[in-house]
Amino acid sequence: MFEAEIDAGLLKECVEAIVAVVDEGKVRISDEDLNLRAVDPSNVAMVTFQLQRDAFDVYRFSNGDGAELEMGIDFPKLGGILGIGGREQVRLSVDDNVQKLNVQMGSLTYTVNLLDPSSLRKEPKVPELEFPVQVVIDTEEFRRTIRAAEKIGEHILFGVEGDEFYMEVEGEMDKLRLGMRKEQLIHLTPGTLHSLFTLDYISAMSKGMGHVDHITLNLGKNYPLQIEFEIADGKGKVSYLLAPRVE
């Protein structure tokens, strides 16, 4: 049995963070948190999501054997449902055999059929990665650069040169570069490296960052990119992983 109450805006933010990478996935419900790990169909991007129980106003979970419950969710659909309600409280409840999710907003109750978790793709393993460089950047600065980059090309370079972090995109005619020195950033590990990424994935991720004020980028040389940020005043965590392009 699972019952919970949470701020609608916060739940919307969570759904947006996940939908940036996958449309469907298994949310695990445990005594401590809701969590999810899912990879996109092309095996290029992964999202890891966790929301602690104290991010909820009400959180009741009981499962006979103490094991986690698995809930298969169609996230765009859930997002659509939440879009109907305002910024009020949302009450969530799941029946015992985890086939239906009730979403109650004020006097409106929406019942969604859950997806069979066994029909969903298996959860990915977590690769063991080591990132030599870490950059902490203002989210708005990041998002603005990505929006500008979308007008120019399809691939984006993320790199660090000494104590400057840069994002660079080249189109057929134009080129865009954002260079930020250490003092303009919240944090930077100096180094010399870069990796190239497909912009579509990063654009989608930048839309999953909601109202977060800063994000952490973990980088390597011709290596996956990890983007991490906190939600719900630190009571939740989102991490994206994106494989690079061949250069």
**Rounded to the nearest 10 degrees, how much is the dihedral formed by the CA atoms of 57, 63, 68, 69?**
-80
Q: Angle, to 10 degrees, between the axis of helix 75-84 and the axis of helix 8-19?
A: 150
Shortest CB 220 distance to another protein, Å: 10
Residues 230/56/125/78 CA torsion (nearest 10 deg):
-100
- Measured in whole angstroms, the distance separating CA 108 from the mean position of its chain's CA atoms is 28
Angle, helix 199-207 to helix 139-150, in steps of 10 degrees: 140
Helix (H) / strand (E) element for 242: namely strand 236-242
Least distance (Å) between residue 43 CB and another protein: 4
The piece of 13-21, 34-42, 101-109, 138-146 that touches another protein (CB under 8 A) is 34-42
The residue (of 182 and 245) whose beta carbon lies closer to another protein is: 245
Cβ proximity to another protein: between 40 and 168 the closer is 40
Nearest one of 36, 37, 52 to 4, comparing CA atoms: 52
* Min CB(45)–another protein separation in Å: 8
Does position 23 interact with another protein (CB under 8 A)? The reply is yes
Q: How does strand 24-29 pair with strand 69-74?
A: antiparallel
Give 41 or 106: the residue with its C-beta nearer to another protein.
41
Name which position in 122, 125, 173, 233 contacts another protein (CB under 8 A). 125
Using a 10 angstrom Cβ sphere, with 0-12 exposed, 13-18 middle and 19 or more buried, the burial of residue 200 is middle
- 173 counts as binding another protein under rule CB under 8 A: no
Q: Kindly state the number of chain residues that form the binding site for another protein, as judged by CB under 8 A.
A: 20
Q: Which of residues 42-71 bind another protein (CB under 8 A)?
A: 42-46
Report the residue number, 43 or 111, with the smaller CB distance to another protein. Answer: 43
Q: Segment 187-216, which members bind another protein (CB under 8 A)?
A: 198
Residues near another protein, by CB under 8 A: 23, 39-46, 124-125, 127, 129, 198, 224, 241, 243-246
